[in-house]
Structure 1
Amino acid sequence: MKRIIGHILSPLHHIGFFFFLIVFQPIQWLCYKLGGYKAHKVSVDALNFCLMISYYLVLDIISFKNEQNLPTDRPIIFVANHQSMYDIPPLIYFLRDYHAKFISKIELTKNIPSISFNLKYGGGANIDRSDKKQSLGEIMKLGQRMKDNNWSTVIFPEGTRSKNGKMKEFQIGGIATILKKAPNALIVPIAIENSWKMVEYGLLWLNSFIPLKFTVLTPIEPAGKDILELVKEAENTIKAIAERNLS
C-alpha cells in the first residue's frame, strides 16, 4: 500500500519540490544582492521549509527531536548518518540557528535551480573529489569560517548514502580537518531514521507513510580525545538509534 500510494502521489511531490526550487532562485539572488549573507540565509531557510512541505504531498512525515541545549557562541560539527537527499532540507531548516553548512560535490554548483546558487554563496565547502589538494583547501576554509563566525557544519562521515539504513564505517578526514581550524568546535551526533525507505524504489517513485526521524544526541567535547576515539564514539551513538528498528 505504501508503494502504490507513493507511486500515485510522487508526481505531485516532484512538481511541488521543483516548483519551490524555481521560485526561490530569483528570491535568493535578490536577497543576496540586496541584503548580503543575512538576507540570503533567510531565503535559504524559507526554501528548505517549503521543500519539506513537498514531503507531505507524498504523505511522509518529518519529526526533528532536539532536547540538547546547544551553544550558538561556538562552532559545532554536526555528525550524521546519511540515507538520502531528503536528509538535507530538514537539517538545514531545523539547524538554522546554528548556520549549518555542508560539504558538497563541486558538480552540484552548476545547473540546479536554487541549490547551485546556495552552494556557491552560502558559505559551505564545494569539493572536487578528484583533486585532494582542492578538497582539503576548501574544507580548511570552511573550518576557518566556522571559527570566525561561530557557524556549524553537517558532515556525513560514511562518505556515501546508505541504501538500506545500515551504516557504513565513519571516516575521520573531514572532521579532523575542521578541528584543526576550529579546535573549539563541539561535536554533536544526529541520528537519521527511515529516510532510505522514502527512496527505496528510487527517486522517481517514492514511498508514502514514511516517518522521517531526526534525533539530536548528546554533544561530545573533543578536547583531550583522540580523533579516532571521538569519531567512533559518535558513530556508535548514532548507530544505536539509526539502526534500532532494522531487521
Structure 2
Amino acid sequence: MLLLRNVIYWIILLISLPIMFFCGLPFTLLPKGANRVGRTWSRCMLWCLKNIIGLKYEVHGAENIPQNPAIICSKHQSGWETLALQEIFPLQVYVMKKELFMIPFFGWGLRLANMIAIDRSKGKQSMEYMLKQGFKRKEDGFWITIFPEGTRMKAGERGKYRLGGARMAKTLEMDLVPVALNSGDYWAKNSFLKHSGTIQVVIGKPIPHTLGSEEELMAACENWIEEQQVKINGRGSKYQA
C-alpha cells in the first residue's frame, strides 16, 4: 500500500504542475500573483501528502513569527519544507540555485514568482546579485527563505552553515527567524517514497540582525537550530506504515 500511495501522489504532482502553470499565467499580471498561485499549489500537495500518504505536521513556536517580513533560516532535509514553509509563513521567495529554473513547469513557475536564483560558481558576484535581488523582494513586501547549509542534509546530519543568510540579514536589515524540522525522518533525501507520520516544525524567536558580526549572527542561528534538531531528530525513524 505504501508504494501505491506514493505512486498516486507522484501522478497527481506531475499532472497538476502543467495545469497549475498554465492556469496561473493570467495571475502573473497581478502583484504577487504568481506567488499566490504557487502557495495554492503547495497547499494542494500538502493536502495530498496528508490524505494519501498520511504525512502530517505540527508547528511549535508559531507565536514567534513576527509581523514584519524577515528572513526564514531553515534546516533543509527534503522537498517537504519547500511546500510547507509557504503555508506556515507569509508570502515568500526562496534563495535557490539557478539550475532549478530549467525544470519544466516547476522551474518556470519559480522564475515567474521572482525567486532569488544564484550561480554558486560565481562566488562574490553571486553574493552581490543575491543582495541586490533581496532588496527588491523586501521592497515588494516578501519574506525571504534561505537554507543556510546550501543543500538538503540527511536526517541527523549537520552541514556547514554559510554566511549568506547573515549577510543578507545585516544588509537588508531583516531579522533571522530560525526553523528546525525533521522532515528527513519521513521523506529521505533523494527518496521516491514518503512515509506516514507527523513532521515536527519548531520556530524560534527572531534573532535581531543587529546582533554582533555576520559570523556571530549565523552562529546564534546555527546553535539554536541544531539544539532543536537533537530534540526532534529520529522521531520518525520507525515509519508508521
**Same fold? TM cut 0.5:** yes
Q: Distance in 1 between matches of 2:77 and 2:180?
A: 10
Partner of 2:202: 215
Native 8 Å contact 2:77 2:189 kept in 1? no
Q: Distance in 1 between matches of 2:160 and 2:99?
A: 25
Determine if the alignment matches structure 1 residue 192 to structure 2 residue 192. no
TM-score, length-normalised on structure 2?
0.87
Q: Distance in 1 between matches of 2:201 and 2:232?
A: 14
Partner of 2:126: 135
Q: Deviations 1:152-188 (Å, cap 9, x if unpaired)?
A: 111111112111232223111x1244235412x0111
Q: Distance in 2 between matches of 1:135 and 1:221?
A: 25
Segments ≥4 residues shifted beyond 4 Å: none
Q: 1:153–1:19: structure 2 CA closer, same or farther, 3 Å change rule?
A: same
Task: Find the partner of 1:178 among 154, 168, 184.
Answer: 168
Partner of 1:154: 145
Partner of 2:239: none
Partner of 1:203: 191
Structure 1: gaps spanning 5 or more residues? none
Partner of 1:100: 92
Partner of 1:122: 113
Determine if the alignment matches structure 1 residue 25 to structure 2 residue 25. no
Native 8 Å contact 1:64 1:213 kept in 2? yes
Partner of 2:214: 227
Q: 1:234–1:27: structure 2 CA closer, same or farther, 3 Å change rule?
A: same
Q: Distance in 1 between matches of 2:219 and 2:80?
A: 25
Q: 1:207–1:63: structure 2 CA closer, same or farther, 3 Å change rule?
A: same
The share of aligned pairs that are identical, in percent, is: 21
CA-based RMSD: 2.1
Question: Helix, strand or coil for the counterpart of 1:37?
Answer: coil
Determine if the alignment matches structure 1 residue 39 to structure 2 residue 33. yes
Native 8 Å contact 1:20 1:51 kept in 2? no
Partner of 1:111: 103
Question: Helix, strand or coil for the counterpart of 2:225?
Answer: helix
Native 8 Å contact 1:17 1:54 kept in 2? no
Q: Distance in 2 between matches of 1:64 and 1:27?
A: 31
Q: Distance in 1 between matches of 2:65 and 2:75?
A: 21
1:74-89, aligned counterparts within 5 Å? 75-89=69-83
Shift in Å, 1:192: 1.2
Q: Distance in 1 between matches of 2:7 and 2:55?
A: 14
Shift in Å, 1:148: 1.9
